[in-house]
Chain A
Amino acid sequence: MSEPHSDLFTTRGDELAVASPPRHHAELPLDITSHEWQWAEALIRDVEEEERKGAFVAVFFSWKMALRQFRRMEAKTFADREPAVKELDHHCACVTALISIGKFLQLELAKPTSPDLKACGISDGEIEAQLYELKCSYEEWHSDVNKAKIKDLANLIFRGAA
């Protein structure tokens, strides 16, 4: 079994303790989010582990939890400044993994042999809407669009430029 948290935790005797962040993370404010993005990625790897075990209900609720952490990180990364290239890379890795897990859940829910998701009140509509929202997030930050056109459009919208 993989150990998704191995880079974040360390064992001290029988105890599991949070490892100190690498020194460069503590010194550079921008890298604080890099370290936090690693937490989001570790959460997603946990969900993928549950997916491999076929624990679909657990996958759904863990996916939702990972989504919340992902959105927290998005808000922190994109609210006040231009994100760094490294942060965009973390964002891309997380959003594509979350889309993949959501798609897996949607396919599982469609199978007549997997009724346990419906029994737990998990609707296809909710998964579809969250998948749609994640795809929007991917398109906004990672699509191969004309950046100059985007900039001109933003100027037109927010500054009323012709």
Chain B
Amino acid sequence: MARPKIIADIHEARYELRMSDGDDALHWQKEYERLLDAAAEEYKTDRLHLKGAIAPDFHKWVKENNLPNLGSKDKR
């Protein structure tokens, strides 16, 4: 299954948002929204449908990249 780069970038911003503490999380929230808007424009859809379409792929992306468990306190 091909994963476009913009979707991988959205997953990365989402992962960082989850893993960040303090105001860093806000920075990643803005980055996540910016990328979501760009992808929504590219695929001629809205944020809500885009989120639903890529949600199952997010956890696969985390696993493929051997990233620490999302529930872990330790960051990469």
Contacts and interface: CB of A to CB of B under 8 A. Distances in A.
Interface of A: 68-75, 78-80, 82, 121, 123, 125-126, 128-130, 132-133, 136, 139-141, 143, 145-146, 149-151, 153-154, 156-160
Contacts of A143: 48, 52
A129 B7 contact: no
Contacts of B52: 139-140, 143, 145, 150, 153
A71 B25 CA distance: 16
Given A79-B60, A149-B49, A157-B43, A125 B3 contact: no
Max count, chain A CB within 10 A of own CB: residue among B3, B4, B57, B70 = B70
B34 interface: no
A69 B45 CA distance: 32
Interface of B: 1-4, 7, 14, 17-18, 20-23, 25-26, 28-29, 43, 45, 48-60, 62-63, 69-73
B3 A158 contact: yes
Contacts of B4: 157-158
Contact of B69 (A75, A125, A154): A75
A148 to B, nearest CB: 11
Max count, chain B CB within 10 A of own CB: residue among A121, A139, A160 = A139
A53 B47 CA distance: 38
B54 A130 contact: no
Given A139-B51, A140-B52, A158-B57, 16 more contacts: A68-B72, A69-B71, A79-B59, A80-B60, A125-B26, A126-B21, A126-B23, A126-B26, A129-B28, A129-B29, A132-B29, A133-B17, A133-B25, A141-B55, A154-B57, A158-B4
